[in-house]
A and B are shown apart, each in its own frame.
Chain A
Amino acid sequence: MKTSITRREFLQKSLAGAGIAIAVSITPYGTKLLSAEEAAKEGPDFSPNVWLTITPDDIVHVIVNKSEMGQGVYTSMPMIVADELDADWKQVRMTEALAADKYKDPIWGRQSTGGSTTIRHMYKPLRIAGAAARQMLISAAADIWKVPESECEAYRGTVRHIVTKRSLTFGKLTEKAASIPVPKSPALKSEDKFDLIGSPVERLDVPDKSRGKAMFGIDTFVEGMQYAAIARPPAYGAKPLSFDKDAAMKVRTVSHAVPIPTGIAVCAGTPEGAWKGRDALDVKWDKGIEPGLDTASLEKKFMADLAKEGITARNDGDVKTVLDAAPKTIEATYVLPYLSHATMEPMNCTVAIGPASCEIWVPTQNQTGVLELAEKETGLKPDQIKVHTTYLGGGFGRRFEIDVVEEAVKIAKAAGKPIKLIWKREEDMKHDFYRPANVSRIEGAVDEKGRMTAWSHKIVCPSIFSRVFPGQVKNGIDPAAVEGVRNMEYEVPNLRVEYVRIDTPVPVGFWRSVGSSHNGFTVESFVDEAAHAAGKDPVEFRLGLLKNHLRAYRVLETVAEKAGWAKPLQKAQGRGVAQHMSFGSYIAQVAEVSVDKKDRSIKVHRVVCAVDCGPIVNPAIITAQMRGAIVMGLSAALKEAIAFAKGGVGSSNFDNYPLLRMADVPDIEVHIIKSKDEMGGIGEPGLPPIAPAVANAVFNASGIRVRRLPMKPETVLAAMKKV
Chain B
Amino acid sequence: MITLEINGKQHSVDVPADVPLLWVIREHLRLTGTKFGCGKGLCGSCTVHVDGKAERSCQIPVAEAQGKKITTIEAVASTPSGAAVQKAWVAEDVPQCGYCQSGQIMTASALLSANPKPTDAQIDEYLSGNLCRCGTYQRIRKAVHKASREMKKGGKP
Contact = CB atoms under 8 A, between A and B. Distances in A.
Contacts of B129: 661
A252 interface: yes
A71 B96 contact: yes
B19 to A, nearest CB: 5
A3 interface: no
B68 interface: no
B134 A70 contact: yes
Contacts of B134: 70, 394, 628, 631-632
A422 B26 CA distance: 13
A215 interface: yes
Interface in B82-117: 86, 89-90, 93-102, 105
A629 B136 CA distance: 10
B136 A628 contact: yes
Contact of A270 (B15, B89, B140): B15
Task: Determine chain A's interface SS by DSSP, over half rule.
Answer: loop
A643 interface: no
B35 A665 contact: no
Contacts of A212: 31-34, 72-74, 102
A125 interface: no
Given A206-B93, A270-B27, A655-B40, A665 B98 contact: no
Contacts of A263: none
B7 to A, nearest CB: 11
Given A272-B15, A272-B19, A345 B35 contact: yes
B138 interface: yes
Interface stretch (B49-57, B120-128, B148-156): B120-128
Contacts of A571: none
Interface string B58-84: 000000000000001110010000000
B30 interface: yes
A344 B43 contact: yes
Contact of A206 (B15, B27, B42, B95): B95
A496 interface: no
B2 to A, nearest CB: 12
Contacts of B99: 216, 343-345, 391, 393-394
B9 interface: no
Interface residues of A, number: 59
B11 interface: no
B37 to A, nearest CB: 5
Given A270-B15, A346-B36, A655-B40, A209 B135 contact: no
Contact of A663 (B98, B128, B133): B128
B43 A211 contact: no
Nearest to A342: B133
Most buried by A among B36, B121, B130, B133: B133
B38 A631 contact: no
A654 interface: yes
- Most chain B CB within 10 A, of A207, A343, A393, A662, is at A662
Contacts, number: 164
A271 interface: yes
Interface residues of B, number: 57
B90 A207 contact: yes
A203 B42 contact: no
Given A71-B96, A210-B101, A654 B86 contact: no
Contacts of B101: 209-210
Given A212-B72, A344-B132, A422-B36, A665 B138 contact: yes
A70 B97 contact: yes
Of B19, B37, B42, B105, most A-chain CB atoms within 10 Å? B37
Contacts of A252: 16
Contacts of B105: 210
Nearest to A425: B38
B125 A205 contact: no
Contacts of B32: 212, 215-216, 218-219
B40 A668 contact: no
Given A252-B16, A424-B39, A654-B40, A343 B133 contact: yes
Contact of B138 (A70, A72, A211, A627): A627
B71 to A, nearest CB: 12
A653 interface: yes
A394 B97 contact: yes
Contacts of B38: 425, 653-654
A206 B136 CA distance: 13
Contact of B131 (A210, A344, A424): A344
Interface in A649-680: 653-655, 659, 661-663, 665, 667-668
21 contacts: A70-B95, A70-B98, A211-B74, A212-B32, A212-B72, A212-B73, A219-B32, A270-B28, A344-B35, A344-B43, A344-B131, A344-B132, A393-B97, A394-B97, A394-B133, A395-B97, A628-B96, A628-B135, A653-B38, A653-B39, A662-B137
In order of increasing CB-CB distance, the 10 nearest A-B pairs are A212-B33, A631-B135, A393-B99, A209-B98, A70-B96, A70-B97, A212-B73, A209-B95, A219-B32, A663-B124
